[in-house]
Amino acid sequence: MNRYPILGNKDTRSGFGEGLLQLGRSNPKVVALCADLKGSLKMDAFIKEHPERYIECGIAEANMIGVAAGLATAGYIPFAGSFAAFATGRVYDQIRQVVAYSNKNVKIAASHAGLTLGEDGATHQILEDVGMMRMLPNMTVLVPCDYQQTIQATMAAAAVDGPVYLRFGRPVVPIFIPQEMPFEVGKAQLLSEGKDLTLIANGHLVWSALEAAQALHEQGIEARVLNMHTVKPLDVDAILAAARDTGAILTAEEHMLNGGLGDAVARVLVTENPVPMETIGVNDAFGQSGLPMQLMDEYRLNAKAIIEAATRLHARKQS
Positions annotated as catalytic residues are 61
CB atoms within 10 A of CB 63: 15
Cα 61-64-70 angle, rounded to 5 deg: 150
**For residue 236, what are the CA distances in angstroms to 172, 174, 189, 243, 244?**
31, 28, 13, 11, 12
Listed in sequence order, the residues at least 6 apart from 34 whose beta carbon sits closer than 8 Å to its beta carbon are: 41, 43, 54, 55, 56, 57, 64, 80, 81, 82
Contact assessment for residue 34 and residue 81, using Cβ atoms and an 8 Å cutoff: yes
Listed in sequence order, the residues at least 6 apart from 248 whose beta carbon sits closer than 8 Å to its beta carbon are: 196, 197, 198, 275, 276, 277, 313, 314, 316, 317
Distance CA 24, CA 32 (A): 9
| Burial (CB count <10 Å: 0-12, 13-18, 19+), residue 40 | middle
HEC readout, 63-102: HHHHHHHHHHHCCCEEEEEEEHHHHHHCCHHHHHHHHHCC
Beta strands 107-111 and 77-83, pairing class: parallel
